[in-house]
Amino acid sequence: MVGLHKSEFANPVVNWIDQRLPLFSMMKNEYSSFPTPKNFNYFWNFGALAMINLMIMVATGVFLAMHYTPNTAMAFDSVERIMRDVNYGWLLRYVHMNGASMFFIVVYIHIFRGLYYGSYKNPRELLWMLGVVILLLMMATAFMGYVLPWGQMSYWGATVITNLFSAFPVVGESIVTWLWGGFSVDNATLNRFFSLHYLLPFVIIAVVFLHVIALHITGSNNPLGIEPKGPQDTIPFHPYYTIKDSVGMCVYLTVFAILVFFAPNFLGHPDNYIPANPLATPADVVPEWYFLPYYAILRSVPNKLIGVLMLFGSIGVMFILPWLDTSPVRSARFRPIYRQLIWVFVIDCLVLGYVGAKPPQGSILLIGRVATAYYFLHYLVILPLLGKLERPLPLPESISQPVTRGGGPLPAGAAATPMEKV
C-alpha cells in the first residue's frame, strides 16, 4: 500500500512530518498510549533502567574516547591524565567504570524478573533469546573495556580470557594468535579491543531495538503471568509507567551516585592501578565481580576444554530455557515448588560468585564443584521435570479479578475504570 500515513496530530508541522514519516505516531503508539498490564510491580522498572544505563555508558564513553590513547606505551598514562587533568575526567571515568557494574546489577535483576515470572515462555521466547544476545554482547564489551586502562588486571584478564580459546583442539592456538594479532596480548590486541569496545555498544543498541520491537508485538508479561483479557486489564504506558519508572530511576541514580562519589573503587581491583607488566602475573587474577560466577564454573572443572565448554554453556543454556521449562504456568506465584527452587538457584549463583573470588583450593574448590553441578542441574533436570510433576495453584480469571474481588470492601474510587478517565 502506497500512500501517506493518516496522522491524528493537530500541530500542522508535526502532522506534515508524521504523514510522511510516522515517527510521532510510532512514539505515541509504542510509548505513550501503549496498553500495558496494570499490575506491574517494581521489577518491571529494570528494562527502562537498563536502557538509561546504556545511554549513560555511550555518552560517557564517547567523551572518554576523546582523551584516551589506545597504545600500550600511553594507555595507562592517558587514563591517569583523564583522572587528573581533563575537566571532569574523574567524573566521566568513575561514572563509566561504575556504570558497567550498575549495568550488570540492573540486567541481572531484569533477568531474575524474567526467570521468576516466566517471561521467557510462549510467546516471548524470541524476546528472551534476544535478551541473552544482549547479555553476551554486554559481557564482551565489558571485558574489552576493562582491558583498555592497561593495568595489571587489564593485561592478565585479557591474557586469561583470550587463552580460553586455546582449549579448542587443533585450531585453538591459531584462534588465540588471531585474536591477539601477535604472540601475546600486546599493542595490536589493545588497538582492536578499543575499536570493538566502541563498536559493540552500537550493536547492543540495535539488538535492544529488536528486543523492544519483539516486546511490543507480544506485549509485556506481568506478575500474574496471565495475558490481559481486555482494556480493563491495561493502562496506557504514559503517564502511569513513565511515572513508576521515574521512581525506580531515582532509587537507581541514588545507588549509582553513592558508588561514584563515595566508593568509586569499591567494585574494582586495586591491582589495576599498577601499569601492565607482561613479566609478572599478580598473586591472584580475578575478573570483575559480574564475571565471578562464570569464572567459578571454569575453575571448577579440572579438564581445560570441558571447563571452557561449561563456561560458554552456562550462558548457552539460557538460549534453550524456553523449551527446558515445561510448565505452562508462567508466574512463580502459582508454582509452589518452583517458587522456592528459583531462590535456591539465586543462592547457587551467589555462591558461585563467592567461589569465583577465592583461590580455588580445598573446600572452596569442592563448594564450587557442587554449585556448578547444581547450576546445570537446575536448567537441565529440575526445570524439565518440575513442569510435569508440580501441581500449580489455580490461576485468577483475569488481571483485574484478584483486585476487584479482594478480601476487604472496595476502596473509594476503585469502582471507576481507569480507562474512562484518560
Partner 1 sequence: MADTAATTANTAHETGAGVPKRDFMKLLAGAGAAVGLGAIAWPLIDSMNPAQDVLAMSSTEVDLKPIVAGQAITVLWRGKPIFVRHRTAAEIKEAADVNVSELRDPQTDAARVQKGHDTWLVVVGICTHLGCVPLGNKPTDPRGEYGGWYCPCHGSQYDTSGRIRKGPAPLNLAVPDYAFENDTKIKIG
User: Between 231 and 239, whose beta carbon lies closer to partner 1?
Assistant: 239
- Give yes or no for a cis peptide into 418 (omega within 30° of 0): no
Nearest of 138, 101, 418, 59 to residue 269 by alpha carbon: 101
Stretch touching partner 1 by CB under 8 A, among 17-25, 340-348, 368-376, 412-420: 412-420
Q: Measured from the CB of residue 134, what is the shortest distance to partner 1 in angstroms?
A: 24
- Catalytic member of 7, 101, 220, 400: 220
Q: How far is it, in rounded angstroms, from Cα 26 to Cα 18? A: 9
Residue 417 CB contacts under 8 Å (≥ 6 apart), including other chains: 232
Query: Is there a catalytic annotation at residue 220?
Result: yes
Stretch touching partner 1 by CB under 8 A, among 85-93, 105-113, 115-123, 353-361: 85-93
Nearest of 40, 58, 29, 66 to residue 248 by alpha carbon: 40
> Does residue 416 bind partner 1 (CB under 8 A)?
yes
Q: Is residue 165 within 8 Å of 348, Cβ to Cβ? A: no
Query: Is there a catalytic annotation at residue 363?
Result: no
- Give yes or no for a cis peptide into 239 (omega within 30° of 0): yes
Q: Torsions phi, psi of 277, nearest 5?
A: -135, 105
Q: Binding pattern to partner 1, positions 90-119, x when CB under 8 A?
A: -xx---------------------------
- Catalytic member of 216, 227, 271, 390: 216
Stretch touching partner 1 by CB under 8 A, among 84-92, 211-219, 321-329, 401-409: 84-92
- Block residue for cell numbers 508535526: 14
Q: How far is it, in rounded angstroms, from Cα 281 to Cα 301? A: 22
> Does residue 132 bind partner 1 (CB under 8 A)?
no
Q: How far is it, in rounded angstroms, from Cα 216 to Cα 26? A: 11
Task: Choose, by CB under 8 A, the member of 3, 10, 84, 169 that binds partner 1.
Answer: 84
Q: How far is it, in rounded angstroms, from Cα 30 to Cα 414? A: 27
Angle at the Cα of 52 from the Cα atoms of 262 and 134, rounded to 5 degrees: 110
Stretch touching partner 1 by CB under 8 A, among 46-54, 60-68, 273-281, 338-346: 60-68
Q: How far is it, in rounded angstroms, from Cα 353 to Cα 77? A: 32
| Separation of CA 16 from chain center | 39
- Catalytic member of 233, 245, 325, 348: 245
Residue 221 burial (C-beta neighbours within 10 Å; 0-12, 13-18, 19+) = buried
User: Between 63 and 108, whose beta carbon lies closer to partner 1?
Assistant: 63
Q: How far is it, in rounded angstroms, from Cα 80 to Cα 3? A: 57
Q: What is the DSSP string of 277-295?
A: -TT---SS----GGGHHHH
> Does residue 63 bind partner 1 (CB under 8 A)?
yes
Stretch touching partner 1 by CB under 8 A, among 81-89, 275-283, 313-321, 398-406: 81-89
Q: Measured from the CB of residue 67, what is the shortest distance to partner 1 in angstroms?
A: 7
- Catalytic member of 18, 233, 288, 348: 288
Q: How far is it, in rounded angstroms, from Cα 402 to Cα 286? A: 48
Query: Is there a catalytic annotation at residue 216?
Result: yes
Stretch touching partner 1 by CB under 8 A, among 4-12, 31-39, 56-64, 146-154: 56-64
> Does residue 86 bind partner 1 (CB under 8 A)?
yes
Q: Measured from the CB of residue 82, what is the shortest distance to partner 1 in angstroms?
A: 9
> Does residue 391 bind partner 1 (CB under 8 A)?
no
> Does residue 413 bind partner 1 (CB under 8 A)?
yes
Q: Measured from the CB of residue 260, what is the shortest distance to partner 1 in angstroms?
A: 12
Task: Choose, by CB under 8 A, the member of 16, 21, 42, 88 that binds partner 1.
Answer: 88
> Does residue 89 bind partner 1 (CB under 8 A)?
yes
Q: Is residue 353 within 8 Å of 314, Cβ to Cβ? A: no
> Does residue 60 bind partner 1 (CB under 8 A)?
yes
Residue 359 CB contacts under 8 Å (≥ 6 apart), including other chains: 284
Task: Choose, by CB under 8 A, the member of 1, 10, 13, 87 that binds partner 1.
Answer: 87
User: Between 169 and 413, whose beta carbon lies closer to partner 1?
Assistant: 413
> Does residue 6 bind partner 1 (CB under 8 A)?
no
Task: Choose, by CB under 8 A, the member of 67, 192, 238, 304 that binds partner 1.
Answer: 67
Residues within the interface to partner 1 (CB under 8 A): 59-60, 63, 66-67, 81, 84-89, 91-92, 412-413, 416, 421
Residues with catalytic roles: 216, 220, 244-245, 288
